[in-house]
Structure 1
Amino acid sequence: ELWRQFLRGFGSANYVADAYPDGTDAVAAAMHGIARRPAYDLDRAALVLSFGAPLFEAWWSPVQAFVAFGRHADDVQRRARFIHVDTRFSRTAARAHEWLGVRPRSYAALALGIAYVLLKEERVDADFLRDHVAGFDDWTDAKGVTHEGYGSIVLRHFRTEEVSVATGVPVERIVRVARAFAAQAPAVAVCGADVTLAPDGLLAGMAVHSLNALVGNINRPGGVFFADDPPLAPLAPVVLDGAARRGLGRGPLVVPAPFGAPTADGLAEAIGNADAGAIQVLMLYYANPLASSPSPETWRRALQSVELVVTCSPFLDETAREADLILPDLLPQERWQDGVAPSSYPYPTWMIARPVVAPPPVGMATGDMLLELARRLGGTATASLPYADVETLLKARARGLFAVRRGMPFGDEFETAHQHQMEERGWWLPAQPDFDGFWTALLERGGWTDPFLDTTDPGRWRRTASGRLELMPAAVRRHVEQPGRPDGLYRFVPQPAEHPAGTRYPLRLNPYRLSTLASGTVHLAPWIAERPTMLPEVHWVPWVEVHPETARAADLADGVMAWVVSPDTVVAPYGPRHPDGALASPLQLLDGATDALTGLAAWCTTFVRLERA
């Protein structure tokens, strides 16, 4: 928020967050009218059905998953069952009670095959569908044209025999999983990036999330929630002068996809296409697009065309080497900082940390740098950020938590349960009599949370124009049901197993993120290369994972170096870095396909071959 405030006060609308979007916020916006990622109450779920969500790896909060599935590890009656659907036998799949291996781009077909069983055997929550859901039944529009609803589409097009052929999952397993999803309530379906990073990613995500609607497990214990932002006091009002209004009036450089946000690669393209000298300053904060982008050359051209490139990276990464000015941020242990809980966590939470070691004498935290820059710019920039330093800003924002009369500073399990029970009964008692005591408790305990979830207010999860959860959102249908796109919603064509070029490129590239390398920002810390992997003895080199028969056919074996070859490019195999520091990123092999609805890159459409190095 500090960056946004600074840019608005200066008069720029060009803020782009490269936070590895997974498209689930677009699914929620289309179906619920809420543009934020759904949260999951894993602690109270009886069955968790994960579609490509790496819960124990590079998910939004692996800790949340470990706590949820470890809490009742010795209690068979209370322990949640975990079924994982994935294209590879990942670390998450290895920890699941059951793994369903599927073909790439077939997650949606499997989800709708499960929906077919639920509908055919009448195992759905009919009351929930009637009272809260739109688009399930067929309907007739104002012109008298009849449209198929979700139920008719699923029953017509997703019979289990056809879904089995498309996914590779036997019919009996599809039926068994569907029956378990209905019987072991509360059951929740979790949608991961493997589903949504595809040409039809938004539609596939909607297919997965529709399972939660069928069993009515939304805003219920053990189900899907939409967490509120912590009730912090707002920042000072933005003050605009004429120059700032003119700057904001020009609008952002990047025009997002219909259901997406501006992307970093879109910003690079816009900068590269702008007139020479049109973009004077580019500021990067914990962003290393030359390493993380599928299009590093686009970014290289963009960086070369900007008059002044400033990076706040604390590491001399690829992008920092191309910058004109490096203002290295302090490390987390050296600065004041705050944060909210991962988006998958259902409770509003605010975390705060103060420095635990003294920073170097010449260092400055990026937040303090922005506040100092605003002071030196003067005018509206100063008026929009009237804070002496980050500590002062955080203390001012914490007053909103003290005034809201709910929630608590972090506590142990007993304190949290007691607070939940009190609020559930309409009671709240302050643990600290004044703000100074409250602020001290925040610092000592590390943050604030509200452990009570209101399951009675439908406004928490139904904010569409119809006031219902939309299975057939009109805005999505307008973009999908057009000439050239005859398939419509929930119509998924089986994908070819081979590249159209034939056997030259017989393997589909399937990149995935490592838990400690989900961003390109801290990869220079040497100890991170020693993170646990699927290969316990391999820590310092990249690798590829293939079927043993595929490896034998390519004359490969464990420990043998290989090239990954695409129709256009040759790069090193996937992994963080080679021992000499050279980058090995499979994202740079991607064929450029995107989801036209979200603008996100497709990770599953590129075909390659392997060659012994």
Structure 2
Amino acid sequence: MELTRRQLLAIGGAAGAGVVIPAWLRSTIANSGPEFFPARNESLAYRKNLESFVPSVCQECTGGCMLKVRVIDGDAVGVSGHPTHPVTRGAVCPKGPASLQALYHPDRIPQPMLRVGQRGEGQWKFITWDEAIKKVAHQLQDLRHREKPHTVTVLDGSRAGLTRTLLERFAAAYGTPNYVHFNWTMGEYPVDAFRAMQDTEELAYDLTNARYVLSFGMDWLQCFPSPIEASRSYGLIRQGREGQRGRIVQIESRLSLTGGKADEWIPVNPETEGLLALGVAHVILKENRFDRGFTSSRTTGFDEWSRIVAQEYPPDRVEKATGVPQETIIRVAREFASNRPALALSERVSFFNQLAVHALNALAGNIGLPGGVLAANTPEAGTLPSFDPDPVARRGGGRPRVDGAGTTFTLASDAPQQLPENLLAKKPYPVNTLVVSNCNPLFASPNPKRWKDALAEVPSIVSFSPFMDETAAYADLIVPDHTPLESWQDAPSVTLGGERVVGMAKPAVIPVCRTRQAADVLLKVSHLLGGSVGAAFPWANFDTLLKECAQQAHASGHAKPLMLDPAEEPSDEALSIEDFWEVVTAGGGWTLPAEPQRQQTRFNFRPDFVRSPIANQKANIADSFPLRLCLFTPLAFSHADGAHLPYLNSIAGPQLDERWETWAGFNPETARSHGIANGDEVWVESPAGRVRAKARWYQGAMPGLVNMPCGLGHAAHGRWAKGVGSNPMELVEKLLDPVTGQPDWQSQRVRVYRV
């Protein structure tokens, strides 16, 4: 039986409502033949109306939320939030129910596939898991024998956890410096500023306890590391503290969902948020409203930084660049300084903007204090034993990275968007094998066709994708991963308030297809490689590793098991390790005592980067392309992913009630000046290409801008994503920050005209 769009949407709707999957689907699952659920029909013993609840981890974003999955006769039929997990507390964001659609998606890759035609032609043949694993191991062993382990690159988008740890460990043990983390910067913490100013990425915004939230372009109610915690914090800011209502000010060029719920929206010219932050700092310094005790005793570079800010960023000058009246700048500065704890937010934009905004938190003295910027103290599921790389691994690991991180981009830990150019140029050396996990660079990149040209220079590409996305379609071998509900999982996290938790879950259901967990495949390949590589991975399978981590937690004496039933309390009696393992896998992990805020290094104001960089634009580009493109990510498509799940497509654009197509938002004044009516089909064009979109008038758009959502416009990724909408990332020419190597998404010039 083939599922229609309407039917699969009903799965997500039923799951979100907390009810059983409709009878038509239950019948489909129970009666489907091997072509629909090949692995499941071989191994599942059916039992009538047997209900259970099991924990799992949502992997639809980086939040790592724990789920409570309702299972009837072996079928996952409902999803809700884990009731005692410190992050979810029984809640789930709109993305959680989509886990069911991923599990039962009819376009999943059912087993390993080997390309038999030209790349991108879509010609494949099924092979066995033994064949696939041996093929990967043989290729990798051959490169090691030829002293070329460094020519293997692992491109991985996994969130924090043991799977990511194993991939990094494999790269080190095998002998390549090229573990490259593929990240999505919209909604990501400004980790470059955190690292440069505080020497750590492990920081978090304590929104829960802030009295005044000044957000510079971070749409934190849609794009935040943990959407659940952002929503809960919003409620607490608004009415969660007796006698105190926090104030939220949103500074951005497009009235976002957060801007619409804020006390005040301040429109600002795109990419000038850092200038505005320094204008605010100028007023705070001039009126002596900063925390002098903090700046004098716990910072470096303050005197030079404050001198430059006083000279170069007076409000009248900042007004000309940002479009924000100087009266507003002065008022906001006074509000921020007098309503502590005050918090200045930014996402991972340009290095200059990140530094400028984060400096406000130091001026307010709210580093390491409740309501400010806290050390995250994220726990680890466990500590892996050290290993001794062999000489081949040490020589290979000592080679320069192929993405230029640490060399071309001096402060970058990863620079994945530089890979296409370096692959084409074979710089600093050719890449022979690319392993891709949990990312889709042929879609979620500036001008993604760069990747297709570059990958033509890589002899072998292996993908772990469970779906035929754009990157998997260009691979040579696909070894499909389980979906989250079929997997053993760990999810270490820390709440914004400092509660530490390690989520852990066994598979909620028997695998639907003949897929395998990526971590298990990696372990098997390592064992076949043998030697020092195999010795670095002593675990028979991933659940063995998880059990070893649980043993460490048990031995610490500090781990308190989570309970899936909030009416139950963990036993005060000492548990054996076997009982502890049973309890934590049934309950979803364990909590750990909160750690006190550790003494952080001295805050570095980085005066070497306080002067505004000169925009890298061609002199005459504004004449031919008069509008500015502003991209954003709806919650449904966080990390530019999710369009293959129809439920997420159906909730993509709540502000303009748009779904199932790409739209372009214009200020009515701008639209009229270009002869565009509300609802017209238009072309949006840049020097990189053009895409089609539905024009929507929106009073929350500043004049001269085109606002477009990321996430739609796939050329692959299943029947509900392929050919639906257009991909505005195709318009963006590659422009990387010269320090961090991260893409600049908001500087592209475009023009628009009716279809």
TM-score bracket, shorter-length normalisation: 0.7 to 0.9
Determine the structure 2 residue equivalent to 1:252: 401
Q: Give the aligned residue type for 1:233.
A: G
2:634 to 493, 499, 514: 514
Give, in whole Å, the separation in 2 of the partners of 1:275 and 1:186: 48
Q: Give the aligned residue type for 1:187.
A: A
1:90 maps onto 2:90 in alignment:
no
- In structure 2, the CA distance between the partners of 1:401 and 1:268, relative to structure 1 (3 Å rule), is farther
- Equivalences for residues 201-600 of structure 1 within 5 A: 201-256=350-405, 257-274=409-426, 278-341=430-493, 346-360=498-512, 362-406=514-558, 408-410=560-562, 432-450=574-592, 452-455=594-597, 457-458=598-599, 461-462=600-601, 468-472=602-606, 477=608, 489-492=609-612, 500-573=620-693, 574-575=708-709, 576-577=711-712, 581=723, 584-600=726-742
Moved more, 516-525 or 154-163: 516-525
Query: How big is the shift at 1:172?
Result: 2.5
Cα deviation digits, residues 473-524 of structure 1 (max 9, x gap): 6xxx3xxxxxxxxxxx322379799973444311011111222323355432
- In structure 2, the CA distance between the partners of 1:568 and 1:587, relative to structure 1 (3 Å rule), is closer
Quick check: 1:265–1:295 contact (8 Å CA) kept in 2? Answer: no
What SS does structure 2 have at the residue aligned with 1:517? Answer: helix
TM-score by length of 1: 0.84
- In structure 2, the CA distance between the partners of 1:411 and 1:104, relative to structure 1 (3 Å rule), is farther
1:15 to 179, 182, 185: 179
Query: How big is the shift at 1:20?
Result: 1.6
Cα deviation digits, residues 260-285 of structure 1 (max 9, x gap): 12322322333222299943321111
Give, in whole Å, the separation in 1 of the partners of 2:526 and 2:743: 35
What SS does structure 2 have at the residue aligned with 1:545? Answer: strand
Determine the structure 1 residue equivalent to 2:700: none
Q: Give the aligned residue type for 1:16.
A: V
What SS does structure 1 have at the residue aligned with 2:434? Answer: strand
Query: How big is the shift at 1:94?
Result: 0.6
Give, in whole Å, the separation in 2 of the partners of 1:597 and 1:37: 20
Quick check: 1:69–1:80 contact (8 Å CA) kept in 2? Answer: no
Determine the structure 2 residue equivalent to 1:56: 221
1:130 maps onto 2:332 in alignment:
no
Quick check: 2:208–2:497 contact (8 Å CA) kept in 1? Answer: no
Give, in whole Å, the separation in 2 of the partners of 1:107 and 1:232: 38
What SS does structure 2 have at the residue aligned with 1:510? Answer: strand
Determine the structure 2 residue equivalent to 1:484: none
What SS does structure 2 have at the residue aligned with 1:511? Answer: strand
Give, in whole Å, the separation in 2 of the partners of 1:82 and 1:408: 36
Determine the structure 2 residue equivalent to 1:4: 168
Determine the structure 2 residue equivalent to 1:183: 338
Quick check: 2:377–2:595 contact (8 Å CA) kept in 1? Answer: no
Q: Give the aligned residue type for 2:746.
A: C
Query: How big is the shift at 1:346?
Result: 4.7
Quick check: 1:85–1:101 contact (8 Å CA) kept in 2? Answer: yes
Determine the structure 1 residue equivalent to 2:127: none
- In structure 2, the CA distance between the partners of 1:188 and 1:41, relative to structure 1 (3 Å rule), is same
- In structure 2, the CA distance between the partners of 1:407 and 1:46, relative to structure 1 (3 Å rule), is farther
1:111 maps onto 2:277 in alignment:
yes
Query: How big is the shift at 1:55?
Result: 0.6
- In structure 2, the CA distance between the partners of 1:301 and 1:91, relative to structure 1 (3 Å rule), is same
Determine the structure 1 residue equivalent to 2:26: none
Give, in whole Å, the separation in 2 of the partners of 1:497 and 1:266: 19
Query: How big is the shift at 1:127?
Result: 1.0
Query: How big is the shift at 1:229?
Result: 3.3
Give, in whole Å, the separation in 2 of the partners of 1:78 and 1:411: 33
| Consecutive unaligned residues in structure 1, runs of 5 or more | 138-148, 420-428, 463-467, 478-488
Cα deviation digits, residues 301-360 of structure 1 (max 9, x gap): 232222221111111111111111111111111111112338977544322222111103
What SS does structure 2 have at the residue aligned with 1:509? Answer: strand
- In structure 2, the CA distance between the partners of 1:170 and 1:441, relative to structure 1 (3 Å rule), is farther
TM-score by length of 2: 0.69
Quick check: 2:378–2:494 contact (8 Å CA) kept in 1? Answer: no
Deviation beyond 6 Å, 4+ runs, structure 1: 342-345, 493-499
- Equivalences for residues 12-51 of structure 1 within 5 A: 12-21=176-185, 24-34=190-200, 36=201, 38-51=203-216
Quick check: 1:60–1:342 contact (8 Å CA) kept in 2? Answer: no
Determine the structure 2 residue equivalent to 1:167: 322
**Identical pairs, percent:** 32
Q: Give the aligned residue type for 2:515.
A: G
- In structure 2, the CA distance between the partners of 1:220 and 1:400, relative to structure 1 (3 Å rule), is farther
Give, in whole Å, the separation in 2 of the partners of 1:436 and 1:26: 42
Determine the structure 2 residue equivalent to 1:140: none
- In structure 2, the CA distance between the partners of 1:67 and 1:7, relative to structure 1 (3 Å rule), is same
What SS does structure 2 have at the residue aligned with 1:537? Answer: coil
The structure with more strand, counted as a fraction of residues:
2
Query: How big is the shift at 1:89?
Result: 0.5
1:158 maps onto 2:322 in alignment:
no
Quick check: 2:315–2:329 contact (8 Å CA) kept in 1? Answer: yes
Quick check: 1:334–1:356 contact (8 Å CA) kept in 2? Answer: yes
Give, in whole Å, the separation in 2 of the partners of 1:82 and 1:520: 27
Query: How big is the shift at 1:542?
Result: 0.1
Give, in whole Å, the separation in 1 of the partners of 2:579 and 2:206: 31
Query: How big is the shift at 1:601?
Result: 1.5
Quick check: 2:229–2:495 contact (8 Å CA) kept in 1? Answer: no
Query: How big is the shift at 1:103?
Result: 0.7
- In structure 2, the CA distance between the partners of 1:172 and 1:549, relative to structure 1 (3 Å rule), is same
Quick check: 1:61–1:342 contact (8 Å CA) kept in 2? Answer: no
Quick check: 1:294–1:587 contact (8 Å CA) kept in 2? Answer: yes
Give, in whole Å, the separation in 1 of the partners of 2:427 and 2:249: 52
- In structure 2, the CA distance between the partners of 1:548 and 1:494, relative to structure 1 (3 Å rule), is farther
What SS does structure 2 have at the residue aligned with 1:341? Answer: strand
| Consecutive unaligned residues in structure 2, runs of 5 or more | 1-164, 694-707, 714-720
| Total equivalences in the alignment | 562
Query: How big is the shift at 1:567?
Result: 3.2
Q: Give the aligned residue type for 2:211.
A: A
- In structure 2, the CA distance between the partners of 1:251 and 1:159, relative to structure 1 (3 Å rule), is closer
Give, in whole Å, the separation in 1 of the partners of 2:207 and 2:427: 50
Query: How big is the shift at 1:558?
Result: 2.6
Cα deviation digits, residues 376-426 of structure 1 (max 9, x gap): 2222222111112111111212333334454644479x99xx99xxxxxxx
Aligned Cα RMSD in Å?
Answer: 3.0
Quick check: 1:115–1:154 contact (8 Å CA) kept in 2? Answer: yes
- In structure 2, the CA distance between the partners of 1:136 and 1:547, relative to structure 1 (3 Å rule), is same
